[in-house]
Chains A and B, each alone.
Chain A
């Protein structure tokens, strides 16, 4: 990049002309694609959220309904429940995912015995089919035939209803989402840990800092960029969680595990209320953007 600044202006102009066609050639298909499959749907969703549309007739002829869809949502108990559950789900993920992932990454970084095996083990759930593993977890959580209650009994604890219980269904899905996501974030933390120079630790050791002290004063602050990335990814993913909910609980019992993604899907494709579904999509969009923005801001402030 710096090279061109030193050079005389003439050849640069010539270069630019050839670039025009080349840029068009290399970037054109992607931009056209993004216009059709990203930009247009994004605008269309916002448009639909202000219209009443039940799939009959073309979308453009759907009657304008102003803020009606949004107003309906504010008094829709199922939506408010789904929204609350989504927040709880995101919060639980935001608290436990980075903590557990960092802890495991720390262990993975230190372990010398069968290092490859441990990495493999923690990463397996990330790459295996979410639908298949949700089925397996559904069976594990089964109050009558599942092994989890059997284990609880073995430890002298009371068996639970898990996904069949209004109190525990959401927590059950949180457990599965942690199980499936930890490996991914642990690998990212692992890369972050390996990027920290040993010199820092050596210097701290000479100053007499213990292992815990070194972890708090060196590792945590230097991992801040990694943590921002992890937190944003965790929030974005948790807001959009769908498959585990769809397969394991389908939102039940009694909406105790219904979340935004699932309710949007149901509203659109089971109840065929596209306008209402679109306005929920817009709300999800705003939430995701706001959350990411706040997280970036908070991290930046802490640095100052």
Chain B
């Protein structure tokens, strides 16, 4: 088969599937600039008759988007820092020290990946309540700073660092902490970058746990806020605002992904392959 013909045969199904993938985004964008009347016109219009660009200005006064952005940023960034630190240290310990029960500990950590969040969230809610952390950043952040996924990723990566390097540093009199901080951590950079992006996107989108912890609107993160929009506008007349809000939330993730695509794919394949 000629290469050109083969490429055409491959592009046709990709385009068909692809338009199915793209359709919700296109519909969201088109609807986000429709007017409240146009959005409930029957039969529907595909393209906005009179683009209402001011929807993008109005939405900020409809819901406290700015406040939600700040909440989401604080929570997500702090979780990512926590995840990087705990994963990096635990991954190092599991990769480079030989101690009793190492395999068991590693298997236990891995097995937490199989535990559905629903099995934990009722008691977790009460732990957080006991700590007085309901409606607080601490409540949103702390239960998320250790992930088995991160530890697994960092262990695999750190195992690839030669033992001889560590031994050499020890012979030079470096303490264990110095070995970690000055040598291992910098070497882990590449894997940490992948993990950072991965957990950022995952946490940015987190919904169930914030839904449990937050009852005060001032503490809403973006996913909670956009859900609030749904409740605020139960009448379909304001679906345009929901689409505007959705666009505002989705676009940053799209940009981050377009820019950092390579790291994502690396993060996924690194874990996917070993399963």
Which of B41-49, B55-63, B73-81, B186-194 contacts its partner?
A: B41-49
Q: Could you tell me the distance in whole angstroms from the C-beta of B25 to the nearest C-beta in chain A? A: 7
Given contacts A18-B176, A145-B42, contact A281 B118 (CB under 8 A): yes
The reply to whether A38 and B269 form a contact with Cβ atoms under 8 Å apart is no
Question: B5 in the interface, Cβ–Cβ < 8 Å?
Answer: no
Q: Could you tell me the distance in whole angstroms from the C-beta of B266 to the nearest C-beta in chain A? A: 9
The reply to whether B122 and A268 form a contact with Cβ atoms under 8 Å apart is yes
Which of B127, B146, B208, B236 contacts A41, CB < 8 Å?
Answer: B127
Q: Mark A120-132, 1 if CB is under 8 A from B, else 0.
A: 1111110111111
Chain B residues within 8 Å of chain A by Cβ, number? 94
A182 to B21, CA, bound (A): 10
Task: Please indicate the chain B residues that have their CB under 8 angstroms from the CB of A120 in the complex.
Answer: 257-258, 261
Q: Mark A1-26, 1 if CB is under 8 A from B, else 0.
A: 00110000000000010111111011
Q: Which residue of B lies closest to A178 (CB)?
A: B20
Q: Which residue of A lies closest to B177 (CB)?
A: A25
Question: A155 in the interface, Cβ–Cβ < 8 Å?
Answer: no
Task: Please indicate the chain B residues that have their CB under 8 angstroms from the CB of A140 in the complex.
Answer: 23-24, 27
The reply to whether A136 and B243 form a contact with Cβ atoms under 8 Å apart is yes
Given contacts A118-B18, A135-B242, contact A191 B272 (CB under 8 A): yes
Which of A29-37, A63-71, A73-81, A89-97 contacts its partner?
A: A29-37
Q: Which residue of B lies closest to A264 (CB)?
A: B118
Q: Could you tell me the distance in whole angstroms from the C-beta of A179 to the nearest C-beta in chain B? A: 7
Which of A165-173, A201-209, A212-220, A228-236 contacts its partner?
A: A228-236
**From residue 277 to 297 of chain A, which have CB atoms closer than 8 A to chain B?**
277-278, 280-282, 284-285, 288-289, 292
The reply to whether B230 and A135 form a contact with Cβ atoms under 8 Å apart is yes
A33 to B120, CA, bound (A): 14
Task: Please indicate the chain A residues that have their CB under 8 angstroms from the CB of B118 in the complex.
Answer: 240, 260-261, 264-265, 280-281, 284
Given contacts A23-B99, A41-B127, A45-B120, contact A129 B250 (CB under 8 A): yes
Which of A41, A136, A146, A187 contacts B265, CB < 8 Å?
Answer: A187
Question: A102 in the interface, Cβ–Cβ < 8 Å?
Answer: no
The reply to whether A34 and B122 form a contact with Cβ atoms under 8 Å apart is no
Which of B99, B119, B201, B269 contacts A285, CB < 8 Å?
Answer: B119
Question: A225 in the interface, Cβ–Cβ < 8 Å?
Answer: yes
Which of B7, B42, B142, B253 contacts A113, CB < 8 Å?
Answer: B7
A232 to B124, CA, bound (A): 26
Q: Could you tell me the distance in whole angstroms from the C-beta of A138 to the nearest C-beta in chain B? A: 8
Question: A84 in the interface, Cβ–Cβ < 8 Å?
Answer: no
Residue in A37, A113, A120 with the greatest tally of chain B CB atoms within 10 Å: A37
**From residue 14 to 54 of chain B, which have CB atoms closer than 8 A to chain A?**
14, 17-18, 20-25, 27-28, 31, 39-40, 42-44, 46
Question: B152 in the interface, Cβ–Cβ < 8 Å?
Answer: no
Total of A-B residue pairs, C-beta within 8 Å: 279
For chain B, what secondary structure do more than half of its interface residues adopt (helix, strand, loop), or is it mixed?
Answer: helix
Q: Could you tell me the distance in whole angstroms from the C-beta of A215 to the nearest C-beta in chain B? A: 14
Q: Mark B228-262, 1 if CB is under 8 A from A, else 0.
A: 01100000100100110110011001101110010
Task: Please indicate the chain A residues that have their CB under 8 angstroms from the CB of B136 in the complex.
Answer: none
Question: B156 in the interface, Cβ–Cβ < 8 Å?
Answer: no
Given contacts A145-B236, A184-B268, contact A127 B257 (CB under 8 A): yes
**From residue 135 to 168 of chain A, which have CB atoms closer than 8 A to chain B?**
135-137, 139-140, 142, 144-147, 150
Q: Mark A233-261, 1 if CB is under 8 A from B, else 0.
A: 10010011011001100000000000011
The reply to whether A147 and B46 form a contact with Cβ atoms under 8 Å apart is yes
Which of B23, B89, B245, B264 contacts A132, CB < 8 Å?
Answer: B245
The reply to whether A243 and B114 form a contact with Cβ atoms under 8 Å apart is no
Which of A16, A150, A188, A226 contacts B99, CB < 8 Å?
Answer: A16
Question: A133 in the interface, Cβ–Cβ < 8 Å?
Answer: yes
The reply to whether B275 and A229 form a contact with Cβ atoms under 8 Å apart is yes
A281 to B205, CA, bound (A): 23
The reply to whether B254 and A124 form a contact with Cβ atoms under 8 Å apart is yes
The reply to whether A30 and B21 form a contact with Cβ atoms under 8 Å apart is no
A247 to B249, CA, bound (A): 16
Question: A196 in the interface, Cβ–Cβ < 8 Å?
Answer: no
Q: Which residue of A lies closest to B39 (CB)?
A: A145
A44 to B229, CA, bound (A): 35
Q: Could you tell me the distance in whole angstroms from the C-beta of A56 to the nearest C-beta in chain B? A: 13
The reply to whether A132 and B42 form a contact with Cβ atoms under 8 Å apart is no
Q: Could you tell me the distance in whole angstroms from the C-beta of A128 to the nearest C-beta in chain B? A: 5
Q: Which residue of B lies closest to A280 (CB)?
A: B118
The reply to whether B230 and A247 form a contact with Cβ atoms under 8 Å apart is yes
The reply to whether B272 and A38 form a contact with Cβ atoms under 8 Å apart is no
Q: Could you tell me the distance in whole angstroms from the C-beta of B171 to the nearest C-beta in chain A? A: 11
Which of A16, A30, A131 contacts B226, CB < 8 Å?
Answer: A131
Additional pairs, 20, CB under 8 Å, beyond known A45-B123, A111-B7, A129-B246: A16-B99, A30-B86, A37-B142, A38-B115, A44-B126, A59-B123, A110-B6, A111-B10, A113-B11, A121-B22, A129-B250, A131-B227, A132-B28, A133-B250, A136-B24, A179-B24, A187-B272, A191-B269, A226-B275, A229-B272
State the 6 A-B residue pairs at the shortest beta-carbon distance, nearest first.
A229-B275, A44-B123, A132-B246, A191-B269, A26-B93, A41-B123
